[in-house]
Amino acid sequence: MNYSLNESIALLPSLKHELNTHNYRYYALDNPSIPDAEYDRLFKQLQAIEQKYPDLITSDSPTQRVGASPLGKFKQIKHKLPMLSLSNAFNDEDLQNFEQRLQDRLGSTESVEFVAEPKLDGVAVSLLYENGQLIYGATRGDGEVGEDITQNVRTIKSIPLMLLGEGYPKLLEVRGEIFMPKHAFESLNAEAIKSDRKPFVNPRNAAAGSLRQLDSKITAKRSLRMCAYSIGYIETDDLDFDPFVLPSNHYDMLKKLSVWGLAINQEMQLVTGAKACSHYHNALSVKRGDLSYEIDGIVFKVNNFEQQNKLGYVSRSPRWAIAYKFPAQEEITILRSVDFQVGRTGALTPVARLEPVFVGGVTVSNATLHNMDEIERLDIHVGDRVIIRRAGDVIPKVVKVVVEKRPESAIKIILPSECPVCGSPVAIIEGEAVARCTGNLICSAQIKESIKHFASRKALNIDGLGDKLIDQLVEKELVKHVGDLFRLHVNDLALLERMASKSANKLVKAIEAAKATSLAKFIYALGIREVGETTAALLSKKFGSIDNVANASIQSLENLQDIGPVVAKNIFSFFSSTENKQKIDELISLGLTFAPVKQDNVESATLEGVTFVLTGTLPSMSRDEMKTLLIEHGAKVSGSVSKNTSYLVAGDAAGSKLKKAADLGVKILSEQDALTLMHI
C-alpha cells in the first residue's frame, strides 16, 4: 500500500465512499455486505494513506470519528425553525378525536393517511448538512435554541459525515432521535458497576449523559445510534434545483433520507384511519420488549405535506401529529412523609416523600401532590400504601390510595398555618386552590426562587449564576432581592464556597452584561403570575415601554389577543403595587437598559387578518426574514396557496405555488411590494 501522492488523491474519494456505504449498511440498515475483516482492511488502507499524506485528511473521512479535544462548555445554536413538541393521546378515544379534528379542518370525511413510527426513548437532535457535508449537530433545548453537540454527533457511526447519493439541497436540516440500544446500555452499566461507578437508570438517561460529555472521546465509546424522523429546513441557491422533485409526503421523504445515508426506523408503516393507528399501536406494544431499543409510544403524522401545511400549528405543537403513549407504568409504595415547598410566588406545594420504588424506568422517592384539594380528594394519609404513576418524562404522581391497607398509625395531612421557611402566616385566597406564604419580602424561599427566575436563561440569562450559588447569596444575606445582584462586588463573591477570584470576576462581568436586555425578557424576569415568554413578548410589542405596560388599564390588557381576565388582573395588580414600581425604578437606576421595541402601530395593524404565502428566492432577504416581518405587522403566513390566501410574495424560481396563485386569482407581490404594504 505504498501509494504515491497522485495515486492517493485518485484513490481516496472511492475508498471513503466505499467505507461510508458499508457504515450505512451496517449501522443504518443493520445489513452488512462484507465481513468485519474486509471492512478493517479497507479502513487500515485509508489510515495508511492519511498518515503518509496528512494534508489529504478531510472532516468527512471515516477515520475522523474518534473524538476531538475536550470542550470547556457547550455553545448554543439557534434552530433555523423551532423544534416543536407533540400533543399526546393516551387511549383510542383520544386517537379518534384527533382524526375527527383533522377531518374537520381539512373539510373532508375521508380517513386520513398517517405515517406510524415508534417513539424512540432518546434525545431529540437537529443535524445541518451543507452541500451534503455535516456542519453541526444540536440538541432540541427549549425548541428555539439548543446546545452545540457537533463534536459528539460526529462520533456516532449511524450519522453520515457526508450524505450518500445525489439530489440533496444546498442546506438540509435533518431531525431525529439519538438513543442507546439496550445491549449497549447493559454493557455500559456492567462496566460502571465493575469500576464502582454509579450506573445509569435507563437508556434514555445514558444517551443524554453521553451526548453532554465535554470530552467527545467518551461519547465515541458509548455505542449511540441515531434515527431520522423528519426534515426541518431546506434551502438552495441553485436556481436549477427544483424543490418539488423532493417527495410530497412524509413517508417518501424519510425513504429519501435513507437513500442519502441516514438511518430511519424499519418498523415505520403507512396506515389509514384511527382504527388502523390503534391496531399498529397494539401490535408494537406487544413487540416492544423484543425491540433492540426502548420506545415509549407511537408517533402518528399526517403523511401528505400539503395537508400538513393546511392544518398548521397550535401553540408549540403541530396539529398534524400526535404521540400515542403506552399505558403509564404504576407501582405501589408507602408514603413516609409530606413536605411543603415554597415557590417563587409563595405557593405551598405538598411533596410526597416515598419509600423508594422503581417505576417507569427510574427509582422514584418523591411525587407531587399538587395542593390540599388533591390531598382531600385522594383522602391520603402519611403511612398509606399509595399507587404511583410515571408516564414517560411526566413528574411522578400519586394517583390512588389503597385505603383497605391503611395502618392504624396513619396520620392525616394538615396544611401548615405558618410558612415552613419563614414562619409567616399561610393564606388561601378565595377562588384559588393554592395556599400561599404571606411573607413575600422576608421569605428566603420566595427570594431564592424569584432570583433564580430573574437570572434564568429565558429571563436576564446571567451566565454562571446557578441555583446553589443563589442559595448561598441569600443565606449569607448578600442578596435580599434582585436589585442586590447588581451591587455585588468581587470581594463578596470570592468569600463564597467554591468561588475563587477568577470565577468571581467572571460572574460580576456576566451580571454587568445582563443589564442590556430586551423589554420582553425583562417583563418575563419580573415573575408576574401567569405571564410567560409569549405574554411578555406580546406586552412588549403592543405597549413598547415598561411605563406603558405599568400604566395599562385592565380593559386595554383584556383587549389583547390571548390575554384573558385572570392574566390581565395579575398584570394590573402587579403594576398597581407601589413596592413593585419602586423595584423596577431601582433596577433601571442600577443600569438596566432595553433594546428599542418595534411597536405595533396603526399602519402595521392594516395587515391584521391578511394571509400571505411566500415562494421562490427573494432578492435581499430570506423567506424566514420576510415571514418574521409580516408576522410582526399582524399578518398570517401560510405554507400553501388556497382560496383564503390574500397575497403571494414571489421571488425567483417561484415554482408551482406561483401557478396555483395565478389560477385562483391571488394577487402576486414582489419583495418590494410586500415591504411597501408594511410601510418599510
Residue 448, SS3? helix
The yes-or-no verdict on residue 604 having pLDDT over 50 is no
What domains sit in the chain, N to C, each tagged with a CATH number? 5-56 (1.10.287.610), 87-325 (3.30.470.30), 329-412 (2.40.50.140), 444-514 (1.10.150.20), 517-594 (1.10.150.20), 604-677 (3.40.50.10190)
Cα separation of 608 and 325, whole Å?
38
Average pLDDT for 574-581: 87
Average pLDDT for 151-179: 91
The C-alpha cell that represents 42 in the structure block = 479497507
Average pLDDT for 173-183: 93
pLDDT of residue 617: 82
Active site residues: 119
Task: Decide the pairing of beta strands 385-390 and 381-382.
Answer: unpaired
pLDDT of residue 351: 94
Q: What is the dihedral of CA 228, 231, 232, 234, to 10 degrees?
A: 140
Cα separation of 329 and 387, whole Å?
10
Average pLDDT for 187-192: 87
Average pLDDT for 555-581: 86
Cα separation of 479 and 471, whole Å?
10
Cα separation of 426 and 406, whole Å?
29
Percent residues over pLDDT 90 in the chain: 39
Average pLDDT for 581-600: 85
Of 445 and 441, the structure prediction assigns the larger pLDDT to: 445
Lowest-confidence segment of 190-204, 213-227, 406-420 by average pLDDT: 190-204
What is the tens place of the pLDDT at every residue in 301-312? Answer: 999 999 998 998
CA distances from 321 to 298, 305, 422 (A): 11, 12, 47
The yes-or-no verdict on residue 566 having pLDDT over 90 is no
Average pLDDT for 582-601: 83
pLDDT interval class at 51 (50, 70, 90): confident
- CA max distance for the chain: 88
